[in-house]
Structure 1
Amino acid sequence: MRTLTLILLALLGALQYHLWWGKNGLAEYNEAKANVARQMTDNEQLVTRNALLYREIEDLNKGLAAVEELARNDLGMIKPGETFYRLLLAEEPSSP
């Protein structure tokens, strides 16, 4: 009877070892769970960024205001009949 108890305890110990530290054990499970949570937050940020980009693309395709704003800011374009004033800062006079 004593031998059977020792064999069962050894078997239980071996199974516990595989559960806690073996391949696909709880340590790897917790690590994979943390990786999934981190990836989910990264995906949420990317979904938000993509939504902003899609709205900008739609605005560029349908609205002329965004195209006009980009042309004015990036290319320095002005409308026909519009007067453009360029203000320059006065240079400081050098003291003798």
Structure 2
Amino acid sequence: MASATTRVLSLILFAILAILQYQLWYGQGSIEDMWRLKRTIAIADIQNAHMIERNVLLQADVNDLRQGDEAVEERARSHLGMIRKGEHFYQLID
């Protein structure tokens, strides 16, 4: 009789272990979820680093535009085609 009780107890413990292992590997908050979240965080960190770098460059442009007319004139010449009085515009075609 003790053998049957031991066998039933062993089966119950094995079933509990199997359920816990399933939850660990495939359930909510599982190791697979953790790996997926780590990948998502790594991608977000890379995107954030690019955005920070872009913001630094944009802030430098803003500071240049605030400090003097040279940056404003450069942008007007390159983006809007500004020409001062007395200057001549030559376009070279390759």
TM-score (norm 1): 0.80
Q: Is the 8 A contact 2:83 2:89 kept in 1?
A: no
Runs of 4+ that moved beyond 4 A: none
- How far apart in 2 are the matches of 1:87 and 1:9? 85
Contiguous gaps of at least 5 residues in structure 1: 90-96
Give the corresponding residue for 2:52.
Answer: 47
Identity of aligned residues (%): 35
Q: Which amino acid aligns with 1:32?
A: L
Q: CA deviation at 1:63?
A: 2.1
Query: For residue 31 of structure 2, what is the aligned residue in structure 1?
Result: 26
Q: Which residue of 1 aligns with 2:82?
A: 76
More helix by share: 2
The size of the alignment, in residue pairs, is 86
- 1:53–1:42: structure 2 CA closer, same or farther, 3 Å change rule? same
TM-score when normalising by structure 2: 0.81
- Superposition deviation, residue 6 in structure 1: 1.1
Quote how far apart the aligned CAs of 1:5 are: 1.1
Cα offset, 1:88, TM superposition? 6.2
Question: Which amino acid is 1:77 matched to?
Answer: I
Q: Distance in 1 between matches of 2:41 and 2:76?
A: 43
Gaps of 5+ in 2: 1-5
C-alpha RMSD of the superposition = 1.7
